[in-house]
Structure 1
């Protein structure tokens, strides 16, 4: 019935909050049941005493039951508050921990074998699919509490006779079977459809937001809006089906509550006050069944979310981050040719010939399609950590985080100070632009370097690669989008930096000026396939 488990071990703090939530849920359930049952007994007994005359009224002790009812009301309210507080605290910590863990796995995954997820798809899994697992922490601990409440309720109904208790037990068994099995099976398909539609919608929103300038330029807003509306309608349809199943379950609970009360009344052999007590205890038992029914109804959605997370759960846990400080430079192999440390190589070839593929493979971003090596070892056989120690990359399409200029530069390595940032930005011919910004290095760039032009983003990426201080610097079209004067200044500054540091260079470009930095030219066609 309840088969899905939280995908990772829960920390001790979360387990302690779950235990407190269970205790509070049990106290709230039993307190509510006893409160309802005692109220029924008290009202019926008081009515009978009132109908029996003044002597019966004088003999009836209403103070103790009334005080008990007030006390139970306070206990139930406090326990319910505690249950919500502790269970949601546990859920927040558990889901935050899961997101952090899976993000760390994805961020540290070997790019050569990691799943090829778009930003929108990764966002959907790390946000929406993990959110679907909240039920595992918030509601699942309430199931044992509901079972405990039902056992107490059956005991209370037994005061009206064993037949009444047995009939209630039969009703509970039937309801549990109907509400736990049928909704789970009925909701499997719409839950899978809702999860897929949610993921697709989130992915489309992220991807379309990244392409908003192209959408505006080419007048595609109406078309994109229509595609989003179509996906939203798909999600709404699945959610409506799930809502109908939940409504049917609620209706079945109402019928079960009425049936339990009626059977208890007919089978009772006790006095009227005890019969009223037993009837209300029976209805409270049905309310406890609702907690199990809600979790069962969410089972399909939880299972679907867990299934979509398997691709991230299968990634290995990140190891301790290797030192990225300066290390001995390894010779670089391109096909049969081997280049010593500090060599400067130009990788040439027409557009689409595979230059970027070679550079990204050396950086560990994708599986190598060419015969490449470092220190005489085939690239595919080297751990990604070894590649990180050797390679710094300024890619053709740089990625910047939504932070400050300094935040983006600090990604290169720990311990970078403002002086080092200034030196790297001067080499990249970007320092003057940064000094004109309102807050200099602390200026917020926005998403993907929003306030920077394409050439400025490339130069910021170049400065970051320089700060990494790796033995080999890989540049992919580093001067694309620059005017001739800025390009000449950049090439001169970069040449001086290479001379001073002895860093090796592999550069791919269609422009003659940056290729002048290289001493050796290697056509990409000369590198055999792996």
Structure 2
């Protein structure tokens, strides 16, 4: 509302300023040409004071419009980004949109940024309508014919500016949005593969691909800029036409005619706000269309503190086909590479749609909400993902309220504490998205520590010792055996190495688990 009032004040103030200036200058010129008596009778104090006041009002109002409209836009878009990120982060991964990190980045950054123009310009549209009405009132002082002519010019101009730019910009706006999303995705993917790109000398080829995508964006944006420039040219022509039509149709005195002509010309500036909004409508519509996949996700409701820690008596049984395992059981999934061991673990963690007959507390896993599954299991995946934050930040993902002492215990169990303790900032050492200074085996062990800190009834481990030397592997397996015994945690593990499989009491061949119906 404040932005609208400021925009209205700026528009009408600018129009009245120009109109009064025209009347004042014309009246002063006529008085000067009529002799000393006319000059003495001409009151220049009041109009000159009004001109000064209107100039100050217009400047202050435009500043207020920029301030309040951008403040509203920044707050609204920040809230929207947070809301959509929360929905995406907490969505059931079994049916959530499969977005690569580059796609998610493009939607949460680029597509939402396209909406900023809509939010910023929204107060200007009704304010522009008010300014046009004020212009009509000023032009009407020159006679009814001048007013009708003015209305015809404005209606024609609005029709052209509302239809042509939007139709012409639809295709380049879609092209620019798609190319921007593709470039973000490529940058994320190539950044993750930078070691291979350098090793195999692929940098020139990758650079050429990125440049080609950037050129595609530039081409689309140039087309949009030309369309917007054409709209600006149309506005200039419309301003001249409105002024000329008012001048020819006026039946008033010369000073009033000058007032009406300048008011008609100035009101076209208000139409520019509507024109710019129309010319960028296609880009906004494209951004909204790309965001629909996130807007369709269910709203996130924070769980009560009671569900973050599961008491022992709330632990549930796990069913693998016809076999049912009580809480605290230790199971090894066996099978050749590609047999589906990782698929089973990820399904048990609620990360994927089950391809096998899996149950939790006797209920088919596919029928359970992801939130119910998460209370029972914690997983250390084969390829763990880390946050671009500190070691402690990555560990706190497990559950709220974890203190440094608990982190140390988990890291000692994962055979990673000595490595973290040697770092200058210890637990506060900042890692990048891919683990930064940590090796592949260290990232895996950090994920194991995080899974232990979750304190869920079932621990899922996928190739937990892959890449470790024999000594570290032996120490990790021994520490995990002790942890499982102390906490009574159930274990489901998949590994191609014999040592970690020794943690299990029973083996289940993935090939023996029936496939899920449908």
Query: TM exceeds 0.5?
Result: yes
- Deviation, 1:346, is 0.4
Instruction: Give the Cα separation in 2 of the matches to 1:75 and 1:228.
Output: 49
- Deviation, 1:240, is 1.2
Tell me what 1:434 maps to: 420
For residue 460 of structure 1, the aligned residue among 443, 446, 459 is: 446
For residue 174 of structure 1, the aligned residue among 156, 170, 187 is: 156
For residue 198 of structure 1, the aligned residue among 167, 180, 186 is: 180
Q: Does 2:465 align with 1:479? A: yes
For residue 192 of structure 2, the aligned residue among 210, 214, 220 is: 210
Q: Does 2:472 align with 1:495? A: no
- Deviation, 1:214, is 1.5
Tell me what 2:10 maps to: 28
TM-score scaled by length of structure 1: 0.96
- Deviation, 1:50, is 1.3
Instruction: Give the Cα separation in 1 of the matches to 2:193 and 2:130.
Output: 55
Q: Residue by residue, what CA displacement relative to the aligned partner does 1:312-356 show, whole Å, maximum 9, x if unpaired?
A: 011000122252202311111111111111000001111111111
For residue 103 of structure 1, the aligned residue among 59, 78, 85 is: 85
Instruction: Give the Cα separation in 1 of the matches to 2:421 and 2:228.
Output: 60
- Deviation, 1:464, is 0.4
Q: Does 2:230 align with 1:230? A: no
Q: Residue by residue, what CA displacement relative to the aligned partner does 1:92-136 show, whole Å, maximum 9, x if unpaired?
A: 011011101110110110011001000000000011001111122
- SS across alignment from 2:375: helix
Instruction: Give the Cα separation in 1 of the matches to 2:497 and 2:347.
Output: 22
Tell me what 2:100 maps to: 118
Instruction: Give the Cα separation in 2 of the matches to 1:399 and 1:102.
Output: 20
Q: Residue by residue, what CA displacement relative to the aligned partner does 1:474-522 show, whole Å, maximum 9, x if unpaired?
A: 0000001100000000000000000101100000000000000000011
- SS across alignment from 2:303: coil
Tell me what 1:326 maps to: 310
Q: Residue by residue, what CA displacement relative to the aligned partner does 1:16-53 show, whole Å, maximum 9, x if unpaired?
A: xxx11000000000000000000111111111111122
Kindly indicate whether the alpha-carbon contact (under 8 Å) linking 1:153 and 1:281 is maintained by their aligned counterparts in 2: yes
Q: Does 2:236 align with 1:250? A: no
- SS across alignment from 1:160: coil
Q: Does 2:335 align with 1:353? A: no
Q: Does 2:347 align with 1:385? A: no
Tell me what 2:402 maps to: 416
- SS across alignment from 2:332: strand
- SS across alignment from 2:459: strand
Q: Does 2:397 align with 1:397? A: no
Q: Does 2:258 align with 1:272? A: no
For residue 312 of structure 1, the aligned residue among 271, 294, 309 is: 294
Tell me what 1:240 maps to: 222
Kindly indicate whether the alpha-carbon contact (under 8 Å) linking 2:319 and 2:362 is maintained by their aligned counterparts in 1: yes
For residue 74 of structure 2, the aligned residue among 85, 92, 117 is: 92
Tell me what 2:56 maps to: 74
Instruction: Give the Cα separation in 1 of the matches to 2:150 and 2:268.
Output: 9
Tell me what 1:504 maps to: 490
Deviates more, 1:256-265 or 1:314-323: 314-323
- Deviation, 1:382, is 0.8
TM-score scaled by length of structure 2: 0.98
- Deviation, 1:445, is 1.6
- SS across alignment from 2:223: helix
Instruction: Give the Cα separation in 2 of the matches to 1:451 and 1:54.
Output: 88
Instruction: Give the Cα separation in 1 of the matches to 2:14 and 2:35.
Output: 32
Instruction: Give the Cα separation in 1 of the matches to 2:70 and 2:191.
Output: 32
Write out the 4+ residue segments of structure 1 that deviate beyond 2 Å after TM superposition.
Answer: none
Instruction: Give the Cα separation in 2 of the matches to 1:278 and 1:212.
Output: 66
- Deviation, 1:213, is 1.4
Deviates more, 1:465-474 or 1:210-219: 210-219
Instruction: Give the Cα separation in 2 of the matches to 1:212 and 1:372.
Output: 39
Instruction: Give the Cα separation in 2 of the matches to 1:106 and 1:85.
Output: 31
For residue 329 of structure 2, the aligned residue among 328, 343, 357 is: 343
Instruction: Give the Cα separation in 1 of the matches to 2:29 and 2:193.
Output: 73
- SS across alignment from 2:434: helix
Kindly indicate whether the alpha-carbon contact (under 8 Å) linking 1:333 and 1:376 is maintained by their aligned counterparts in 2: yes
Cα RMSD (Å): 0.8
For residue 140 of structure 2, the aligned residue among 158, 166, 170 is: 158
Kindly indicate whether the alpha-carbon contact (under 8 Å) linking 1:32 and 1:76 is maintained by their aligned counterparts in 2: yes
Instruction: Give the Cα separation in 1 of the matches to 2:47 and 2:191.
Output: 63
Instruction: Give the Cα separation in 2 of the matches to 1:383 and 1:447.
Output: 28
Tell me what 1:147 maps to: 129
Instruction: Give the Cα separation in 1 of the matches to 2:39 and 2:383.
Output: 88
Kindly indicate whether the alpha-carbon contact (under 8 Å) linking 1:324 and 1:388 is maintained by their aligned counterparts in 2: no
- SS across alignment from 1:203: helix
Unaligned 5+ segments in structure 1 are 1-18
Kindly indicate whether the alpha-carbon contact (under 8 Å) linking 2:385 and 2:433 is maintained by their aligned counterparts in 1: no
Instruction: Give the Cα separation in 2 of the matches to 1:169 and 1:207.
Output: 55
Instruction: Give the Cα separation in 1 of the matches to 2:267 and 2:490.
Output: 75
Tell me what 1:302 maps to: 284
Unaligned 5+ segments in structure 2 are none
Q: Residue by residue, what CA displacement relative to the aligned partner does 1:142-189 show, whole Å, maximum 9, x if unpaired?
A: 110000000010010011111111101000000000000111111111
Instruction: Give the Cα separation in 1 of the matches to 2:112 and 2:23.
Output: 46
Instruction: Give the Cα separation in 1 of the matches to 2:235 and 2:371.
Output: 57
Instruction: Give the Cα separation in 1 of the matches to 2:158 and 2:186.
Output: 40
